[in-house]
Structure 1
Amino acid sequence: MQPKLPIAVIGAGPVGLAAAAHLIQRGLEPVIFERGEHAATAVRQWGHVRVFTPWTYVIDSAARALLSEIDWTEPQPDALPTGDEIVDAYLAPLAAHPSIAARLHTNATVTDVTRDGASKIHSEGRETASFAVHWRDAAGIANRTLVSAVIDASGTWFDANPIGIGGLPVPGETDAADRIEYRIPDVLGRDRATYAGQRILLLGGGHSAANVALDLATLHGQHPDTRISWGIRRKSIESLLGGGADDELPARGQLGLAAKDAIDTGTLELLAPYAVDRIERIGDGIKVFGHRAGVPMELVVDRIVVTTGFRPNIDMLRELRVELDPMLEAPPKLAPLIDPNVHSCGSVPPHGVAELAHPEPGFFIVGMKSYGRAPTFLMLTGYEQVRSVAAELAGDHDAARRVELKLPETGVCGGFTAASCCEPEAETDLTSSQETEAEESVS
């Protein structure tokens, strides 16, 4: 590794910017690549969503230290911010900090990461060779930047899971793409006209789905001709109710209870257990063929909202020696710690460089992408990851392996696991082989 070269950080969202802050704190030189026009572009896409994690868990320690150098007012620690507020009050000022701004490339889409002059199969001198980050700017011009190490914090936001329970699109899904939304629509704001007075099928059984369900219920109150069916793969939403009094993030449990109340009052029609088999366009609508509790069922709707999570895209890493767990698509040493069949986000143990290592020395996947398809990610966990990685790259191996994080407990042990406590999250279907993930997305 050539110490005079910078360290690449791919993604300028919460974890990517935290990685840059920790590198700067360690006297290292980051170079940051963000595919969006501004930092935290993906967070802006769910900016209307209020998270159930207070500010005290949203701000990284190294980022706070940088921001304390400028005219910045830290938000009230107990307040629950929206995605837009996280960007406006925290991520945008952090990205504008002189130490970060001078090193940040926006409109920079990373297409490939390689060892300079070596393919994946080339071994001689590999460990001392530089990395080459290949990226395209806003004009589509190809660029190549040599770096000494790579931290991939690019998230998963742009790779949503399809409707099919087997991990693939159902027949007809692609043809109906213009009437399907795979993220959290702003149904009470910019997307109101799209959903008001429509027949809507919501798919997903996690907290992202609950957020959408409650917004649609409010929309129904304002436009009573709005009809909402909510399909989940489990038998009920009981596991969505959170950990009750044992949950250190009470807003998480309150979300599930409010969703249950909307079902009990008939505002939402719950379909459980439910799965879609195929979709057919009919005029301006969609005919959905599925089954409920094993019985065939047909629905005609105007719109479908899919909140069944995201998956990592590793195309740009195909020339690196990356090792991933075959089930979760996470680093093999991390996978058993985040298995959603066992852990809630509060029971996942803090971890760092030892669990994130790949056969490619100097390369690390962090943040939501490091969790692959597991839905147990916490923003705080990502901050601990990058603190550890920065320490390792600085040569402080003891600090890299020291745990410096205590997570808020969910009050949920096993079964359904509360997804990201700092970002929108997705369904975990523990009744099938299909696991879906939360979205921490930063790129």
Structure 2
Amino acid sequence: MSDLPVVVVGAGPVGLAAAAELAGRGQTVLVFERGAHAGAAVAQWHHVRLFSKWSQLVAPAARRLLEPRGWRAPAGYPTGEEWARLYLRPLAEALGDRVRFGAEVVGVARRDRDRVVDAGRDSEPFTVHVRASDGREERITARAVIDASGTWSVPNPLGGDGLPAIGEAAASDRIGYRVPNLTDAEVAARYAGKHVVIAGSGHSALTALVAFAGLESPARITWLLRRGAAGTVFGGGDADQLPARGALGMRAKAAVEAGRVQVVTGFRTDEVERAHDGRLVLRSSAGQRLDAVDEVVVLTGFRPDLAWLSEVRLELDATLQAPVALAPLIDPNVHSCGTVYPHGVKELSHPEEGFHLAGMKSYGRAPTFLALTGYEQVRSIAAAIAGDLESAGRVELTLPETGVCGGSGVFDVSTEEVSSGCCGIPANSEPLTLSAPPSR
């Protein structure tokens, strides 16, 4: 199978980094992207500024490919639009016809073998089923597949049990699942002076809180947290080795402490009801009620789309839907550090030899993914595919610390229950507990 290409699914930051790594090792590679251009998903959050600097957002293999063409990384912190326009699209151009747009991968299997068949499985290549934007279909035979398609297309719902709350779909005209672009006058007008509920506790939720708190025509902002206390939700502050990430948490904390945000903890949405005036009523499974809600911004994370991988034998953690060897490193039930040991092909392999999940999709439902992590993942995977096992097993990355240790990343516990931080560092900071009674 050495003459067959390696197929990469997704022309986002990690998928293109994988292609650059493989191309640099003389491997034949094809990238399939269902969008019309590189970074199609990144472009959908074009208004959001990253908390990683340009130097942390350019893959080493991409830099080796781009700099001989006269490309130089800008300085500072890009927005999603700038990351796509100034880096991802030039990288796709440098990769040339290795990247195909308007081509959606709708299935992967072993040639002439469904997932049940053992006989001859390991000696057969993959067949990658591709559907073009005009509906045409083709099958590509591949020696290996790297799925870097991300999770952007499958946001988690508002419902506290992982399924949509009762009435959530019917209220979709007032519920969004992305950080709104409040720099757009038309979008800002939709929320101005309204009662806006933000659900979620990650960096996207913090970004939204800061943006809404800064509106000239301020909205009434209610922040719903499923956890029982705010705890470590604001991050590590000055201790965060990504200063912009620490600053984001401090700005969100300042907005809360200034009274611009009402915080409701322990609220796990069970039902969304339409009131007589068209606004929404949110009810929790514990009987809490939140009335007169104009808009809901759901920022509860994402999950992987595994439906088109039904014929591939994956070994996924039952909790996170991440590779079983990776899951213990990233499980938010175990820690809230957000600090993950660098990992590569060893942790990302599956029973289906030659198939790898990489990038955000490799994290399953776990949060806090950094581009640097994805770049190290595909460096290791590409080395293994090329037969360089020594390089594949070597760690070539040190990740920045978040400055947060101690407690559970999903449901905060009291400091009495935590004797030491999850990273082995004493948890010497008191968790900030913020709560407010539901509005009537």
Task: Give the TM-score normalised by the residue count of structure 2.
Answer: 0.90
Instruction: State whether structure 2 residue 250 is matched by structure 1 residue 254.
Output: no
* Secondary structure in structure 2 of the residue aligned to 1:191: helix
C-alpha change, 1:195 and 1:15, in structure 2 (3 Å) is same
Q: How big is the shift at 1:101?
A: 2.3
Residues in 2 aligned to 1:9 and 1:344: alpha-carbon distance in whole angstroms: 31
| 1:164-183 aligned within 5 A | 164-183=159-178
Aligned to 1:119: 114
Residues in 2 aligned to 1:217 and 1:131: alpha-carbon distance in whole angstroms: 50
C-alpha change, 1:197 and 1:132, in structure 2 (3 Å) is same
| 1:37-186 aligned within 5 A | 37-76=36-75, 79-97=76-94, 100-186=95-181
The question of whether the paired residues in 2 share the 8 Å contact of 1:346 and 1:408 is answered with no
Q: Give 4+ residue runs of structure 1 displaced > 4 Å after superposition.
A: 343-346, 428-431
* Secondary structure in structure 1 of the residue aligned to 2:30: strand
C-alpha change, 1:344 and 1:263, in structure 2 (3 Å) is closer
* Secondary structure in structure 2 of the residue aligned to 1:41: coil
Residues in 1 aligned to 2:288 and 2:147: alpha-carbon distance in whole angstroms: 43
Render the CA deviation track for 1:39-74: whole Å, top value 9, x for unaligned.
111001111111111112111100000001212122
* Secondary structure in structure 1 of the residue aligned to 2:233: helix
Question: What is the CA RMSD across the aligned residues, in angstroms?
Answer: 1.8
Residues in 1 aligned to 2:313 and 2:232: alpha-carbon distance in whole angstroms: 38
Residues in 2 aligned to 1:159 and 1:407: alpha-carbon distance in whole angstroms: 27
Render the CA deviation track for 1:320-343: whole Å, top value 9, x for unaligned.
111101011111111112122334
Aligned to 2:271: 278
Amino acid at match of 1:323: E
Residues in 1 aligned to 2:101 and 2:276: alpha-carbon distance in whole angstroms: 41
From 393, 409, 412, give the equivalent of 2:385. Answer: 393
Aligned to 2:426: none
From 226, 236, 251, give the equivalent of 1:243. Answer: 236
Q: How big is the shift at 1:394?
A: 0.3
Residues in 1 aligned to 2:407 and 2:281: alpha-carbon distance in whole angstroms: 29
Amino acid at match of 2:61: A
The question of whether the paired residues in 2 share the 8 Å contact of 1:241 and 1:254 is answered with no
* Structure 2 portions without partners, runs of 5+: 414-440
Residues in 2 aligned to 1:245 and 1:139: alpha-carbon distance in whole angstroms: 51
Amino acid at match of 1:154: S
The question of whether the paired residues in 2 share the 8 Å contact of 1:343 and 1:376 is answered with no
| Identical amino acids, percent of aligned pairs | 50
The question of whether the paired residues in 1 share the 8 Å contact of 2:168 and 2:271 is answered with yes
Q: How big is the shift at 1:361?
A: 0.6
| 1:31-42 aligned within 5 A | 31-42=30-41
Q: How big is the shift at 1:287?
A: 2.3
Residues in 2 aligned to 1:12 and 1:357: alpha-carbon distance in whole angstroms: 21
Amino acid at match of 1:197: G
Structure possessing the higher relative contact order (Cα contacts under 8 Å, 6 or more residues apart): 1
| 1:422-433 aligned within 5 A | 428-429=410-411
Aligned to 2:365: 373
Instruction: State whether structure 2 residue 317 is matched by structure 1 residue 322.
Output: no
C-alpha change, 1:56 and 1:112, in structure 2 (3 Å) is same
Residues in 2 aligned to 1:386 and 1:146: alpha-carbon distance in whole angstroms: 21
* Secondary structure in structure 2 of the residue aligned to 1:259: helix
Aligned to 2:355: 363
* Secondary structure in structure 1 of the residue aligned to 2:368: coil
C-alpha change, 1:346 and 1:56, in structure 2 (3 Å) is farther
Size of the aligned set, in residue pairs, is: 412
From 171, 183, 188, give the equivalent of 1:188. Answer: 183
C-alpha change, 1:244 and 1:227, in structure 2 (3 Å) is closer
Task: Give the TM-score normalised by the residue count of structure 1.
Answer: 0.89
The question of whether the paired residues in 1 share the 8 Å contact of 2:267 and 2:288 is answered with no
* Secondary structure in structure 2 of the residue aligned to 1:403: coil
Amino acid at match of 2:64: A
The question of whether the paired residues in 2 share the 8 Å contact of 1:339 and 1:374 is answered with yes
Aligned to 1:210: 206
C-alpha change, 1:404 and 1:346, in structure 2 (3 Å) is farther
| 1:324-339 aligned within 5 A | 324-339=316-331
Q: How big is the shift at 1:429?
A: 4.6
Instruction: State whether structure 2 residue 217 is matched by structure 1 residue 223.
Output: yes
* Secondary structure in structure 2 of the residue aligned to 1:90: helix
Q: How big is the shift at 1:346?
A: 5.6
* Secondary structure in structure 1 of the residue aligned to 2:232: helix
Residues in 1 aligned to 2:276 and 2:239: alpha-carbon distance in whole angstroms: 49
Residues in 2 aligned to 1:430 and 1:101: alpha-carbon distance in whole angstroms: 48
* Secondary structure in structure 1 of the residue aligned to 2:127: strand
Residues in 1 aligned to 2:32 and 2:147: alpha-carbon distance in whole angstroms: 10
* Secondary structure in structure 2 of the residue aligned to 1:285: coil
The question of whether the paired residues in 2 share the 8 Å contact of 1:341 and 1:414 is answered with no
Residues in 1 aligned to 2:238 and 2:213: alpha-carbon distance in whole angstroms: 26
The question of whether the paired residues in 2 share the 8 Å contact of 1:285 and 1:300 is answered with no
The question of whether the paired residues in 1 share the 8 Å contact of 2:108 and 2:129 is answered with yes
Aligned to 2:256: 263
* Secondary structure in structure 2 of the residue aligned to 1:388: helix
* Structure 1 portions without partners, runs of 5+: 418-427, 432-443
* Secondary structure in structure 2 of the residue aligned to 1:241: coil
| Farther off after superposition, 383-392 or 84-93 | 84-93
C-alpha change, 1:430 and 1:121, in structure 2 (3 Å) is farther
Q: How big is the shift at 1:283?
A: 5.6
* Secondary structure in structure 1 of the residue aligned to 2:387: coil
C-alpha change, 1:237 and 1:344, in structure 2 (3 Å) is closer
C-alpha change, 1:64 and 1:429, in structure 2 (3 Å) is farther
The question of whether the paired residues in 1 share the 8 Å contact of 2:337 and 2:406 is answered with no
Amino acid at match of 2:84: V
Render the CA deviation track for 1:238-279: whole Å, top value 9, x for unaligned.
412322332111222221221122122222222123222211
